[in-house]
Structures are given as structure tokens and as C-alpha cells.
Amino acid sequence: MKAFFTAVLMLGLATITSAEVSVERGEYLVRGPAGCGNCHTPMGPNGPDMANEFGGFMVEKNPQFEAWAVNITPASRVADWSDAELARAIREGIRPDGTVIGPPMPISLYRGLGDDDLMSIVAFLRTVAPSDNTTPFSTYNIPLPPAYGPPVDSVTAPPRGVTVDYGAYLAGPVAHCTECHTTFGPKGPMFDTHLGAGGFEFHGPWGVSVAPNITSHEDGLAGYSDADLKQMITTGTRPDGNRMLPPMGYHHYAATNEDDIDAIILYLRTIPPLPDAG
């Protein structure tokens, strides 16, 4: 029975056709708000190694796991996956062999990617320059779930515009802001109780950076104007001129159109206030 439902799902993804599916839309999402290269492009001493864009990189090493964002160019194993299989791996975290993709890939949010955007991302990834860069496989000292939920049949994204709903879609399933900025518990981000309260530590060549509070609390964004937030999101520079640390993909958000940034900020203002996690 499970195989039957999987086959139905794959058929559904394989037959998605829409005027909204395009390589151009996929490129905008991947190189803009989704920021896929922020994890999947190797980082050199002078920044991203664009000669190996999407060629894979180690994104996090901590006592729980050593996670590698693998090569997703046409020179990698994803070249042998069908579009439906690649789409399922992105949105559900299930590879064609049935194995599960672990954190920090934010599958719980990617499950909300709209069909058109998902297939546009797949269409664009098929066109990127091949990279021969190789990475180890991720290793986990924590149990991974058999799946992140039931199979996703179809998702319709909210209409594009400067609205709270579209901002929530961008800040969630697309740009996964709420993944990094939500306090983590033993099973991952605590969306139900600590949405946006921050506290997750990122370890990298820069040292340790902590995802800040992005709720409407005074510990979060209450003291910043919309212009301040736009500057911080797209440049990584605070109003006082101090630079913010990686791994936030500022250059990806700089490539995000102004309306989309405005929609994200509009949504962030609606996140219920919570004090800093601690």
C-alpha cells in the first residue's frame, strides 16, 4: 500500500505543469530568497567558491551531527534522479532509495513549498554548471525520523504580494528564516512554543554565531524600523554600522526583490513577542 501511495505522489509531481513553472522563477528563488547556495556552495577564504556553485559544503559540526550539503549540480548523483524524485527529496527529505535527509535541511518548512515554486527550483537546478566537487556523507549521532510527515500531495502557494500571508510563506517554506531563528529543542525547532525566539548556535570558521530573536518583543525586532530590518537582512550591517556574522545568506537576500523583503518584514512584525531564549 505504501508503494502505491508513493507511486501516486510521484506521478502527481511528474505531471505538474503550469505557466508559473519556469527556469527564471527557479533561478530567482535559488539564488535569491531560498539561498540554496548558502549551504550547497563551498566556502573559501575569500567567500563562496562560485566556480563550484552548488558543489557541496560542510554546513554544521556539533556533538549531534556533522552535516554536509551535498553537490546538487548535474554532475552529481541527482543527475540520475527524475524531476519528481528530486522534488520529493527537496520537499519531503526522502531520497529515491528511501533514506531520509537529516538536519539542518529544513524539511519541516520545505513541506510547505508550493508546487510551481518547487518545480521551478528543480527546473533551474538542471541548468546549473556541473561541479566535480565531492563531499563526505553526513553523519548523525541522533536518530532520524522515518519521514517528516505523510506524503505531500499538492501545495498551492499564497498569491504573491506585500501581504502577511505571502511574507509568512517566504520566511517559512522558501527562505526558512523561522527555522534558524526558532529556539531548538531535542527534536528540532520548537515552532509551537518558541517561534522566532532565537538561540541556535552556528559553528564555523567565523567562530560561533547565535541566531537572534526575530519576534516583536523588545528583545527582538521592536526597536528596529522597517528600514533598519531591510538593511540588516540584505547587507548584514546593523544600524550602528557593526557587521553581523555568517551564516545568514545576506548576498542571497540582497538579490531578493524589494516587495518580497517588504512582505517578509510585514510578517515578522506579526510574530508574537517572546523574550530571548535562555
Domain-by-domain residue ranges, the chain? Answer: 2-140, 164-268
Q: What is the pTM of this model?
A: 0.91
Residue 269 near residue 55 (C-beta atoms within 8 A): no
214: closest CA among 250, 182, 244? 182
Mean pLDDT per block of 10 residues along the chain (278 residues) reads 46 56 98 96 87 92 90 95 98 97 94 98 98 93 94 97 98 97 89 95 85 97 98 97 92 97 98 92
Determine the pLDDT at residue 13.
56
Q: What is the DSSP letter of 95?
A: -
Determine the pLDDT at residue 6.
46
Determine the pLDDT at residue 1.
45
Determine the pLDDT at residue 89.
98
CATH 3.90.320 fits 164-268, yes or no: no
Dist CA 52 CA 65 (whole Å): 24
Determine the pLDDT at residue 10.
52
92: closest CA among 40, 154, 32? 154
